[in-house]
Amino acid sequence: MNKLIDTLRALGDLLMPRTCVVCGRTLGVHERHLCLPCAADVPYTRFWNQPHNPLADRFNAVLERHRGTEPMDYAYAVALLYYKGAYRNIPRALKYHSNLSVGRFYGTLLGRHLASAPHFVDIDLILPVPLHWTRRWSRGYNQAEVLARAIASALNAPCRPDILIRAHRTRTQTRLTVEQKAVNVASAFRVREGAQSTLVSAHHILLVDDTFTTGATLYACYAALRPFTTARISIATLAAVEGTPSGST
Ligand SMILES: [Zn+2]
């Protein structure tokens, strides 16, 4: 069977050569998505083994800034890899170049790491950060949902893209400052009518997005969910921009 797959892949490579997502080099028959040198050097965070890690500290700093008087649990957060150098091409391939296959591959890898981490094994509801319907329609897919579905099957937990709604379309975030980003997404999300009972019965919800930059988008989803559930809410992303807990990046 493996031989047959190799033969078919070799034939496919003749017709349309596959290239490394990171460096663009033509891939060999046994290489998937990345060439061997790039695959050997992926800047993995290894945060999945650490309930307390720099990314979780950053997300908790965002939660702390918005917290009222009520006590707050430390939220777990994980990213598979750092968003840096040519490795930025991995999340970009998923988000901008319709490479759903690379999203499923790294989503599954992240899901397997979560499944082997004691603080993530009890996740019972997985929610992708939604796109506004017009953006989803023009792109044809939601990159966060591609990741969430792969993570969900590795964790054997339900993925529910129908619970959070992006209520209004936000401006592209790329050129905004941290404060502008926070305002831009603050009220962008709401819980769909009728989805409350699902949230009430959940114990550990995982919010999934493609990239963690300032945490503003994930926080806005967290804030939309919080009134409807006492569940622990954790976050997972494919990539994370390196930064400090003060959120200065
Ligand atoms: Zn490469």
The whole-number pLDDT of residue 2 equals 79
Domain boundaries, the chain: 1-41, 42-240
Residue 184: burial class (beta carbons within 10 Å; 0-12, 13-18, 19+)? middle
Instruction: Compute, in angstroms, the gap from residue 19 CA to the centroid of ligand 1.
Output: 8
Residue 175 has pLDDT above 60, yes or no: yes
* CATH no., domain 42-240: 3.40.50.2020
Whole-angstrom distance, CA of residue 169 vs CA of residue 111:
29
CA of 4 to the centre of ligand 1 (A): 25
Kindly give the distance from the C-alpha atom of residue 12 to the centroid of ligand 1, in angstroms, as a whole number.
19
CA 149–ligand 1 middle distance (angstroms): 26
Give the model's confidence band at 70: pLDDT under 50 very low, under 70 low, under 90 confident, else very high: confident
With the C-alpha atoms ordered 69, 74, 77, 83, is the resulting torsion angle positive or negative?
positive
pLDDT tens per residue, range 194-207: 999 999 999 999 99
Q: From ligand 1's centre to the CA of 168, what distance in Å?
A: 38
Mean pLDDT of 21-34: 94
Cα–ligand 1 centroid distance for 11 (angstroms): 21
Does residue 123 contact residue 205 with C-beta atoms inside 8 Å?
Answer: yes
What is the whole-number distance in angstroms between the Cα of residue 196 and the centre of ligand 1? 45
List the beta bridge partners of residue 205: 125, 233
CA–CA dist 108, 150 (Å, integer): 5
Distance 39 CA to ligand 1 centre (A): 7
Instruction: Kindly report the pTM of this predicted structure.
Output: 0.88
**Residue 53 φ/ψ region, left for φ over 0, alpha for ψ in the -120 to 50 degree band, beta for the rest:** beta
- Inform me whether the pLDDT recorded for 176 exceeds 70: no
Is the pLDDT assigned to residue 244 strictly greater than 90? Answer: no
Burial class (CB in 10 A: 0-12, 13-18, 19+), 1: exposed
Higher-pLDDT residue of 173 and 196 is 196
Cβ 226 vs Cβ 219: under 8 Å: no
- Rounded CA separation 79/55 (Å): 8
Q: 27 CA distance to ligand 1 centroid (A)?
A: 8
C-alpha 34 – ligand 1 centre gap (Å): 5
pLDDT tens, residue by residue, 80-139: 999 999 999 999 999 999 999 999 999 999 999 999 999 999 999 999 999 998 899 999
